[in-house]
């Protein structure tokens, strides 16, 4: 996979940077606790798809956690834009969703998602779930 940011595909745990795109600040807070305190990762946040795309271009995170249902631009449209842009297409994306149908999951993977995590999620296992999807050592 092309990695234009020169970031390692399995960055050291203490250097991992995750961008979380979710319109629910409470969900961001819960995820931040699990990812920073347990995973030791840096967490960037955006509350909309458009803001998330801008943040991804600027910061080139190691991975993106993306909510499916957001008001201005949903996660599906956001993923499409991320994958269509050479600057962000190689960043792994994991969907966070309350949608648990197999057909939804199949659609997300077909679009290029690297994983799907159901809401509500356990903040104490979030970092290990992400690591599992991305084949990162913990």
- What residues does each domain of the chain span? 13-134
Look up residue 33 and give its two tokens: 């606790």
Which pTM value belongs to this model? Answer: 0.88
CA distances (Å), 57 to each of 36, 63, 92, in order? 22, 12, 13
> Are 94 and 65 within 8 A, CB to CB?
yes
Task: Read off the tokens for 51.
Answer: 């803001």
What string of pLDDT tens digits covers the 138 residues of the chain? 344 444 456 666 667 899 999 999 999 999 999 999 888 899 999 999 999 999 999 999 999 999 999 998 999 999 999 999 999 999 999 999 987 789 999 999 999 999 999 999 998 889 889 988 888 765
| pLDDT (0 to 100) of residue 14 | 67
Give the strand pairing for 93-97 and 42-46: unpaired
User: Which pLDDT belongs to residue 49?
Assistant: 98
In the chain, the largest separation of any two C-alpha atoms, in whole Å, equals 36
- Domain 13-134 sits in CATH 3.40.50.2300: yes
């Amino acid at each position: 996979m092309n990695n234009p940011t020169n970031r390692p595909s399995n960055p050291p745990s203490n250097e991992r940077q995750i961008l979380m795109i979710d319109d629910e600040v409470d969900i961001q807070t819960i995820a931040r606790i699990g990812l920073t305190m347990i995973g030791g990762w840096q967490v960037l946040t955006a509350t909309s798809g458009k803001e998330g795309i801008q943040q991804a271009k600027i910061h080139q995170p190691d991975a993106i956690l993306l909510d499916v249902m957001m008001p201005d631009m949903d996660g599906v449209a956001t993923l499409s834009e991320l994958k269509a842009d050479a600057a962000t297409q190689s960043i792994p994306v994991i969907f966070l969703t309350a949608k648990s149908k197999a057909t939804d999951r199949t659609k997300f993977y077909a679009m290029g998602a690297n994983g799907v995590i159901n809401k509500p999620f356990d903040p104490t296992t979030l970092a290990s779930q992400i690591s599992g999807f991305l084949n990162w050592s913990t």
